[in-house]
Amino acid sequence: MTAVETDKHTTGTDTDAAATVLLIGTGDPITTLETALGRTDVLEVQTAETVETAPIGSPAVESVVCVAPESPATALEVLSGVRRQESTLPVVCYTAPQSEALFDAVLEDDWAIQHRPGERDGDRLAARIRRLIDHHRQRTLTRNVLTAFEAVGDGIALVDPDGTVIAVNTNYVRQFAVAREELLGSHWGLPYPDDEVRRLEETALTVAAAGWRWKGTCIGRRGDTTFTSGVSVIGLEDGGFALLLEGDSSNRVPDNIR
């Protein structure tokens, strides 16, 4: 067994990173709004006259504002045009009049809101835009982490502070030849012999709780037989821990076991 000190704190999205918003519209309203948002120092502002000429697909653009203070129909048209190109790009419909069609469209769109023009538009609108962008960044990061979680060669189980399994990847499930549903929500020790659970609690979990990474071997159950695998246990910031079983293909069952 080896123990390596580890930092249990995780890094999330950088909510202070510059965010670019694209204003779509014409005339005095867009000029006024561009100036107001530019003074907030939390957004970089670009403009375009129409959705057809706007760089909607640019990686730099993280949000769109449809500037149509007196025309909800125009705002709805821009929202529809953005959605034909980007299904999850945050969109703010900057318009005042009530419109049932626009209300329904925003209600059904997870990444669209309506903002009615008013005093201190720069500060209030900038704050709403940043919340949308930060939420979108976090959602994207989560999706990428889950993709990597499944792609990694090792079997991984995430366990909460109560010892309950909250996530497992496919390679972890294959090691034990059980259904994923049998492991999720169960005690982490379910697929291990009782003696092995006690040993890991007295060694690996104690070390991990102290902020170290424990590395050694463990015995797991696969049906009526057992197998031995290399394992690492890492303490998490919330008091839970992660189990990493080495990705040895000889220890795994065929791919059709989920």
136 shares a domain with 37: yes
Domain assignment present for residue 6? The answer is no
125 shares a domain with 82: yes
Nearest to 236 by CA among 179, 186, 162, 176: 162
Whether 87 shows a pLDDT value over 90: the answer reads yes
105 shares a domain with 51: yes
Q: What is the CATH number of the domain that holds 66?
A: 3.40.50.2300
162 shares a domain with 239: yes
Work out how many domains the chain is built from and give that number. Answer: 2
Supply the mean pLDDT for the chain.
Answer: 86
Q: What is the CATH number of the domain that holds 216?
A: 3.30.450.20
For tokens 């449809």, the residue is 66
Give tens-digit pLDDT for 192-220: 999 999 999 999 999 999 989 999 999 99
Give tens-digit pLDDT for 146-189: 778 887 788 999 999 999 999 999 999 999 999 999 999 999 99
Paired tokens of 95? 């318009």
232 shares a domain with 135: no
- Complete DSSP assignment for 52-120: TTS-TT-TTEEEEEEE-TT-HHHHHHHHHHHHTT-SS--EEEE--S--HHHHHHHHH-TTEEEE---TT
Please provide residue 181's backbone torsions phi and psi, each rounded to the nearest 5 degrees.
-65, -25
Output the pLDDT for position 38.
Answer: 80
Domain end, chosen from 100, 133, 148, is at 148
Give tens-digit pLDDT for 116-150: 887 667 788 888 999 999 999 988 888 888 778 88
Contact assessment for residue 225 and residue 242, using Cβ atoms and an 8 Å cutoff: no
Helix (H) / strand (E) element for 62: namely strand 61-67
Measure Cα distances from 199 to 32, 42, 189, 204, 217 in Å: 67, 52, 11, 8, 11
Give tens-digit pLDDT for 1-52: 555 544 444 444 455 567 899 999 988 988 888 888 888 777 889 999 999 9
Contact assessment for residue 8 and residue 211, using Cβ atoms and an 8 Å cutoff: yes
Domain assignment present for residue 196? The answer is yes
> What is the percentage of the chain residues whose pLDDT exceeds 70?
88
Helix (H, G, I), strand (E, B) or coil at 154: coil
Q: Could you list the residue range(s) of the whole structural domain that residue 46 is in?
A: 20-148
Domain assignment present for residue 3? The answer is no
Tell whether pTM > 0.85: no
CB count within 10 Å of CB 151 equals 10
CB count within 10 Å of CB 138 equals 13
- Which residues does 19 contact at the CB level (< 8 Å), separation at least 6? 42, 43, 44, 62, 63, 129, 130, 133
CB count within 10 Å of CB 89 equals 20
26 shares a domain with 105: yes
Domain assignment present for residue 44? The answer is yes
Domain assignment present for residue 256? The answer is no
CA 234 to CA 205: how far, in whole Å? 8
Measured distance between the N- and C-terminal CA atoms of the chain, rounded to whole angstroms: 30
Domain assignment present for residue 10? The answer is no
CA 97 to CA 95: how far, in whole Å? 6
Domain assignment present for residue 69? The answer is yes
Domain assignment present for residue 193? The answer is yes
Output the pLDDT for position 3.
Answer: 54
Helix (H) / strand (E) element for 131: namely helix 121-151
Output the pLDDT for position 250.
Answer: 45
